[in-house]
Structure 1
């Protein structure tokens, strides 16, 4: 849009209200160069740009304006801070009308797969940042992320405040290259944690933008395994939203630069789940190849694992393999693996246990055994409500129609009553 066209749009927005605006090309130029438009002009600007009025916060000018048309900041030598800003703005829950398309995510993954590492930004002229303060941020972030699952539901605002602080430091601080590397790494880790919080709460746009911001910062830090993991998370979200084509595309790109065996195990498990969920039996061989690769990588994985995938275990291999086989129609073997995986899961991973229990309930339903299915679903629902995990609650809700034919079975009426409460 030219400056003249935008000025015309602003004038038209005022005219529709029976008012007159003196906005012209010169006024637009002033706004572009730092002069702040008043609240009324910002309203007209939003309308001229086709944006809803409820995203406007005059005191937040110009940060409420979208940075891109498709919601994805392109990778580049100075893209890490803008990507973080985009995620932080989305966190204000005023921009959920902007969704990130599967095509844009696939294009970002393809760009990441071939994009060379770039030199970190040089120290700026801002206030100097001390190593002790960065260490404090790293330590407290780790403490917040390592809390018991039930307590993590209370940490979202603290983590977002940490991420906002790190973003300010990257944008306006003065730091050595070594500290810059640590700040980018911390930003990537924080973004990933914040994204999972948002995803579990059903805030998908914020989750996408946070994972994207993490990807930019992992790329800036030259951490290919972390970048692959963040793409794996975006693929998991796409699969959750039934966009298996986007999920598969992202995972194939992620696998090109992942090196750590634990990281590759997790990505191969997600690829197997994605391919199996397509429901195309012709892809059975590809699913089994991915599962075999995941098992080999897990056997090869030692103690030296990235923190974001240190938890990958035999339990995950068993349950995800079982779920993939369930989608392929191998119900008996799938049920055995899912049950075994849930048994192997450490007590500390309650959220994952809630997800696994719903998988077990689904496998019992496939075997036409409603009583143990109801018991597993009830355990999952109670656990999800206790730890504050709406995503797990949704999994149980999605299963409820399958219980309707078994209303006389033991435990089923109680489950339906609990879900309705």
Structure 2
């Protein structure tokens, strides 16, 4: 039988570096600042830690005593709104998968983000993952039994949501959140066999990864990071090193997107130590090449591109689901983008154009990103008219499928179009971008 997970109030207090006495004093001080007197003592706090729900006022005092603003409190969701970390990263451990999921779900419910996760914390998590053994799968709890039919239903509906056409996925955020919350509750409170536990962890990892990409596309970076971290904990629990490496590469991709290439490179190097499948290693090497090229490390970037090409040739068709999409199109475009950063403009443009044409219709969001890359490569070649055409196509596609990340890529290119305001297609592009900004406001 698995040891019980510590109550979130205990975790939050320890994370805040507070003794029980200091927490009680903080709660009384929060009440006193309102001209009220709290009768809370250590015995009352222990009752809360054993399952008694504090009043809404007491929950506000708890939040303030822990150093968090009152509007983080969701009184009807006690104790799940409590923060479980100081820096947003739950350490890997034998019982860390539920706290990591709860942290992701809690952060997603915040009205605003109170912290950003540092590159140092993410690199440390990657190093911890690379060095440590996989966790044992969760054993049965003394809760209500979880049946195979329910797990199969959750797997099927999750697969259906993930398989919707790109433009329909923008409407599924609430459904995905509900699915993940249900799976988290089952992992924490359900009674299940090891085989069902494996499926629940795998499902939690898949859902968290999907939600992370949604949040990332919306520019909600802390929320995305938390969900990738939660997915990593659950992949780690199953011993799936390739999936764990892929989730770390997603965090690295996000870091590179935010121009933190040092963090991206650290994470990717750790991820490569345990990734085995050629398709997984191809994706990792492509992302490593991109971040090395952005740092101007030409020889290392070219070596990573060569390794990615070899791994893709070795990958075959039997691939993990999470990286089954990696293709010649991705190799071409990412190679081109790396070469663009290294100054090889002509070859870069050729590869980006080839890759964009190779992309299957089902990957519309990726097509929008690739079109933005093609627009940038045209600008580097001083070809504003085809650049405007590609950028316009990307913006229209992003508007249709609800992809703010594509819009951001084009917004970043707009200053480079200003010298070409009289070139055919450029005025229309600038007007379309203005319309998008008005709609966003």
Which range, TM-score by smaller chain?
over 0.9
- Kindly indicate whether the alpha-carbon contact (under 8 Å) linking 1:384 and 1:390 is maintained by their aligned counterparts in 2: yes
- In structure 2, do the counterparts of structure 1 residues 16 and 131 end up closer, same or farther at CA, with 3 Å as the change threshold? closer
CA distance in 1, matches of 2:147, 2:54: 37
**C-alpha distance in structure 2 between counterparts of 1:308 and 1:4, whole Å:** 47
Which deviates more, 129-138 or 4-13? 4-13
Residue-by-residue CA offset, 1:210-267 (whole Å, 9 max, x unaligned): 1111111111111110000000101111111111111111100111111110110000
Deviations 1:45-74 (A, max 9, x none): 222222112111222222222101111111
Aligned pairs for 1:56-135 (under 5 A) are 56-94=73-111, 96-135=113-152
In structure 1, the residue corresponding to 2:90 is in which secondary structure? coil
Give the whole-Å Cα distance in 2 for the aligned partners of 1:242 and 1:356. 18
**Distance in 1 separating the partners of 2:92 and 2:270:** 15
**1:328 paired to 2:345:** no
Shift of 1:198: 1.1
Aligned pairs, number:
418
Match of 1:41 among 49, 58, 65: 58
Distance in 2 of aligned mates of 1:313 and 1:210? 25
Please point out which of 155, 160, 170 is paired with 1:153. Answer: 170
For residues 61-112 of structure 1, the C-alpha deviation after alignment (integer angstroms, 9 at most, x for no partner) is: 2222210111111111111122111111122133621322111111111111
Normalising by structure 2, report the TM-score.
Answer: 0.92
**In structure 1, the residue corresponding to 2:109 is in which secondary structure?**
coil
1:259 aligns with 2:276: yes
Cα deviation digits, residues 105-152 of structure 1 (max 9, x gap): 111111111211232121222222222222222122112111111111
Distance of aligned partners of 1:95 and 1:65 in 2 relative to their CA distance in 1, 3 Å threshold: farther
Partner of 1:205: 222
- Choose from 225, 237, 241 the match for 1:220: 237
Per mean C-alpha deviation after superposition, the further-off stretch among 93-102 and 408-417 is 93-102
Q: Hey, what does 2:153 align to over in structure 1?
A: 136
Secondary structure (helix, strand or coil) at the match of 1:91 reads helix
Provide the rounded CA distance (Å) in 2 between the counterparts of 1:134 and 1:11: 45
Give the 3 Å change call, closer, same or farther, for CA 102–27 of structure 1 in structure 2: same
Is the 2:286–2:304 contact (alpha carbons within 8 Å) kept by the matching residues of 1? yes
Q: Aligned partners of 1:318, 1:302: CA distance in 2, in Å?
A: 18
SS in 2 for 1:21: coil
Q: 1:287 aligns with which of 298, 301, 322?
A: 301
Instruction: Say which of 390, 401, 404 aligns to 1:376.
Output: 390
Partner-residue secondary structure (3-state), 1:346: coil
Once the two structures are overlaid, the 10-residue window that deviates more, 398-407 or 57-66, is: 57-66
Aligned to 1:274: 291
Where does structure 1 lack aligned partners over 5 or more consecutive residues?
none
Contact 2:83-2:106 at 8 Å conserved across structures: no
Paired with 1:233 and 1:294, the residues of 2 have a C-alpha distance of 16
1:352 alignment counterpart: 366
Deviation at 1:21, TM superposition (A): 2.9
Distance in 2 of aligned mates of 1:405 and 1:83 = 49
CA offset digits 1:325-373 (Å, max 9, x no partner): 1111111111111111101111111000000000000011111111110
Q: Distance in 1 between matches of 2:336 and 2:271?
A: 23
SS across alignment from 1:215: helix
Q: Would you say the 8 A contact 2:82–2:106 is kept in 1? A: no
Query: How much is the aligned-residue C-alpha RMSD, in angstroms?
Result: 1.5
Is contact 1:3-1:29 (8 Å) kept? no
What is the CA–CA distance in structure 1 between the aligned matches of 2:126 and 2:55, rounded to whole Å?
39
Aligned to 1:299: 313
Distance in 2, Cα, partners of 1:326 & 1:358: 13
Tell me what 2:23 maps to.
6
2:410 aligned with 1:396, yes or no?
yes
Please, which of 203, 211, 227 is the counterpart of residue 194 of structure 1? 211
Contact kept? 1:187, 1:214, Cα under 8 Å: yes
Q: What is aligned with 2:260?
A: 243
- Looking at structure 1, the residues matched to 42 and 94 of structure 2 have their Cα atoms a distance apart, in angstroms, of 32
